[in-house]
Structure 1
Amino acid sequence: MLTSAFQRYLNNFRGFTKEIWILTLITFINRAGTMVLPFLSKYLKEDLHFSYNQVGWIMVCFGFGSMLGSWLGGKLSDKIGFYKIMIFSLFTSGLSLFALQFVTSFWGLCLGMFLIMVLADMFRPAMFVSLGAYAKPENRTRALTLVRLAVNLGFAAGPALGGLIIMNIGYSGLFWVDGTSCILAISIFALLVKEKKKSEFDNSDKEISNSDSVFKDRIFWVFLFVSFATAMIFFQLFTSLPLYHNEKFGLTEFQTGLLMTLNGLLIFTFEMPIVGFLVRKEIPKIKILIWGSFLMAISFYFLLLNTWVGMLVIAMIVISFGEIMAFPFANAFALSRASKGQEGRYMALYTMSFSLAHIISSKLGFEIIGNWGYQINWFIMGTLGLSAVACCLWIQKRL
């Protein structure tokens, strides 16, 4: 019984091309090496002694760099190909990380963080387009899920490793390791994967787009709001929720860490089997997005019941399953809307919706909490999630 269940679980990881596995490996190496990000605000505040206001502005530059990088990466992927962009992005951002540790002035760091994120985030839309070229149509959603799994595993390993490096070498060690991981990952990719101009597989999984231009695709723009809204509420997990755990329930950093680990474990264990099952059942992507957005929204309404600490666990479980359903199928839906030769532009706008949410989510969340308290913030975030559900229903009618 146990053996057959394990066998069924392993079946979800079968059928991928060699290139997809290499992409997954380099994504893991790159994300596990991304240690500067979790400690960036701590480094700016404690090591370089910037004020909270200055740290805030450096993070805003970080966000805008990410947006511009996403757009450039997508546009250039359509012009000169995703392969060249992926190699250029990771190699130059690796070298830039080596240099960034020597920049210590406020304006220097504003410019440095902006430029490094322009270079680094050119990678994301290019990588999404590469999945369209290297994965069979029936495997694309699962391929996106596999890469997401590598991202989550990398993010789980990175901060712990980063903490050890800071304790033993100091913050400069983070820049050296992060830069090296970028160069190592892209070197493996360049050595083992050949450039492919276009997919050798057909594009039968594409939705019927009503327009040749991404700017005239109304359905896609409504979908971008759905991505933005779900990303807005997702980022609350890393900004306002850890503070809430401590201020309302007196949880320690370790207990908050355990809750975050629960999120990672649920995704690691259940995402591939659930996505595999939904793909086999051929359920429309937009229908799955409706359920994913709904679960993410109601997890914040659960937080309104703030008299029992167990509600934090329930809310975390619900948002984790919402994330499992929403994010892989949102990636796949975005890629499926693009007409031939426009994949980069579509994936650029999709990744930009996350970058914009990253800029606004913490700032807006803390403004609401500062003026009206945590409960109002949870209510607004939950309602934002329900507005995403309403938009998904509108898209379902139009498709």
Structure 2
Amino acid sequence: MQQLFKNYINTFRGLSKEIWWLALITLINRAGTMVIPFLSLYLKEDLHFTVSHVGWVMSAFGLGSVAGSWLGGKLTDMFGFYKIMIWSLLATGFLFIALQFINTFESICIGIFIVMMVADAFRPAMFVALNAYSKPENKIRSLTLIRLAINLGFSAGPAIGGLIITGLGYAGLFWVDGLTCIIATLVMINVLHPKKAKVLDEIKNEYPISAYKDGTFLIFLLAMALFGIVFLQYFSTITIYYKDIHSLSELQIGLILGLNGLLIFIFEMPLIKWLENTTYTKLKLMLFGVVLTGLSLLVLNLTSWSGILIAGMILMTIGEMIAFPFSNAFAVERAQKGNQGEYMALYSISFSIAHIFGHNAGLQMTYKFGFDITWYLVALVAFVCAIILYFLNKKLKTITN
């Protein structure tokens, strides 16, 4: 047991101090993002929106994410990652607090769009910061540490969110979300001042390649958008499924969602460390992760026993642990060829596009066809994504050889 713990600790060695500070800032921020997994329930249960209206609100969520990711990438290349991260975090905090005071369909759509546009400007800047502060040989583990922080935050967030809803109602979530963003801003100002920052892996390109002309990268982004559509069912459709079909309370839903983050916190870093030493390419590993995520929804149709929800969550978590770190690493490596902000913005946008279509499509399909058919159709999307990754991997191997 002691040796296992020692091996676990060793997987974190060699990462820069700045990466650890970024991870802490991300942890504080993400621990407060408990509104997101409960957003569809909040709209349906508290504001009494129809499932169709909830779907359109989630599309506004995605559109804001696309706009924010694009804008964040442009501004990062213009002004640097530090300023964009600070202003995005601070403004998001105040906007989350304000969001609770609007309640009509039209105003919620506009409000969600603005919040996500400001919030997701942070993502390309954070990826560029991570790339700047990481030694070349530690890129994947640095990315994994940030994901650990995100998922530890998501692990605590939904569980605490369920308790807050039970005790204070949904309004309490918006206050906690806003305040944690503001706290994360204050921490960042105090520990990551740009004058103290030391760039460990500076990349300069005299003639940077435009990400829009990188065909391989664009195909990769298509696969990531499809994967995002599958994965994001766990942030909208699945919570309604838990409540309507399996009659779970908000607290029970929060605990199941929290299991995802807990498993990632314990197992992801050792898993990534082990997979890095295998002969599998990043794209092949991503393919395996996509297949597991698709299967996590398919198994829900096997039985009405509520225990299958935990089995599905475990399958999805393993798939996520494999797919996301290696997709992040693939994008970061590709970004070294050109404008890093532009590359990482497009990577973020691929998931933002998934937000536009994934939530709405899932909710509309459950409304018209029911959950069973929805899970079959979403699994089909995962299969298409896996095929794209298979042929892209084959293409890159041919070029390399």
TM-score range, shorter chain: 0.7 to 0.9
Paired residue secondary structure (2:14): coil
Residues 12, 161 of structure 1: alpha-carbon distance in 2 compared, 3 angstrom cutoff: same
Measured in 2, the distance between the counterparts of 1:362 and 1:153 equals 23
* Aligned equivalent of 1:330: 327
Partner of 1:14: 13
Task: Give how far 1:22 is off.
Answer: 0.8
* Contact 2:158/2:255, CA 8 A, preserved across alignment: no
What is the CA deviation profile of residues 283-342 of structure 1, one whole-angstrom value per residue up to 9, with x for unaligned ones?
432221122122223334434433766554443332221111101111111111114551
The answer for unaligned runs of 5 or more in structure 2 is 397-401
State which drifts further: 102-111 or 145-154: 102-111
The amino acid across from 1:221 in the alignment is L
Evaluate the alpha carbon distance shift between residue 273 and residue 203 of structure 1 in structure 2; reply closer, same or farther with a 3 A threshold.
Answer: farther
Relative to 1, partners in 2 of residues 1:177 and 1:319: Cα closer, same or farther, differing over 3 Å? closer
The partner residue of 1:386 within 383, 386, 390 is: 383
d(CA) in 1 for partners of 2:41 and 2:301?
30
Distance 1:9 1:174 in 2: 34
Supply the distance in 2 between the matched residues of 1:59 and 1:307 (Cα, whole angstroms). Answer: 28
SS in 1 for 2:235: coil
Flag the 1:237–1:392 CA change in 2: closer, same or farther, 3 A: same
TM-fit CA distance, 1:4: 0.8
> Which of 250, 271, 276 pairs up with 1:274?
271
Cα 1:145–1:376 change in 2 (3 A) is same
2-structure distance, mates of 1:309, 1:44: 24
> What letter corresponds to residue 187 of structure 2 in structure 1?
I
SS for the counterpart of 1:237 is: helix
Q: Show CA shifts across 1:360-379 (max 9, x none).
A: 22322233334444333222
Q: 2:318 aligns with which of 301, 321, 324?
A: 321
How many residue pairs end up in the alignment? 393
Residue 224 of structure 1 corresponds to 221
- Identify which range, 152-161 or 32-41, moves more after superposition: 32-41
Distance 1:356 1:72 in 2: 14
Amino acid at match of 1:252: L
Q: Identify if the C-alpha distance between structure 1 residues 302 and 89 changes in structure 2 by more than 3 Å, giving closer, same or farther.
A: same
2:119 alignment partner in structure 1:
120
CA deviation digits over 1:183-212, x for unaligned, max 9? 2111211221132799432669x9xxx981
For 1:139, what is the secondary structure of its paired residue? helix
Structure 1 residues 32 and 315 mapped into 2: Cα distance closer, same or farther (>3 Å)?
Answer: closer
Following superposition, the deviation at residue 99 of structure 1 comes to: 3.5
User: What's the TM-score, normalizing by structure 2?
Assistant: 0.87
- Where in structure 2 are the equivalents of 1:7-86 lying within 5 Å? 7-45=6-44, 47-48=46-47, 54-86=53-85
SS of the aligned residue for 1:14 comes to: coil
Range with bigger deviation, 378-387 or 145-154? 378-387
- Contact 1:78–1:344 (CA under 8 A) maintained in structure 2: yes
Post-superposition CA distance 1:117-157 (Å, at most 9, x none) = 21111001111111000111111111111111111111222
Identify if the C-alpha distance between structure 1 residues 348 and 313 changes in structure 2 by more than 3 Å, giving closer, same or farther.
same
**2:303 pairs with 264, 289, 306, which one?**
306
Cα drift, residue 383 of structure 1: 2.1
Is the counterpart of residue 351 in structure 1 residue 348 in structure 2? yes
Partner of residue 260, structure 1: 257
Please report the TM-score for the alignment, with normalisation by the length of structure 1: 0.87
Quick one: distance in 1 between partners of 2:248 and 2:97?
34
Deviations 1:1-30 (A, max 9, x none): x11111001111221111111111111111
Structure 2: distance between partners of 1:358 and 1:343: 23
State the 1:252 CA deviation. 2.9
CA separation in 2, counterparts of 1:87 and 1:307?
46
Identity %: 48
What is the aligned partner in structure 2 of residue 139 from structure 1?
A: 138
Aligned Cα root-mean-square deviation (Å)? 3.0
The residue type paired with residue 78 of structure 2 is K
Contact 1:212 1:339 in 2 (8 A): no
User: Which residue of structure 2 lines up, in the alignment, with residue 200 of structure 1?
Assistant: 200
Unaligned runs of 5+ in 1: none
Deviations 1:240-266 (Å, cap 9, x if unpaired)? 334445666x45336655543443332
Change (3 A) 1:211 1:372: farther
> 2:45 & 2:312 partners in 1: Cα distance?
32
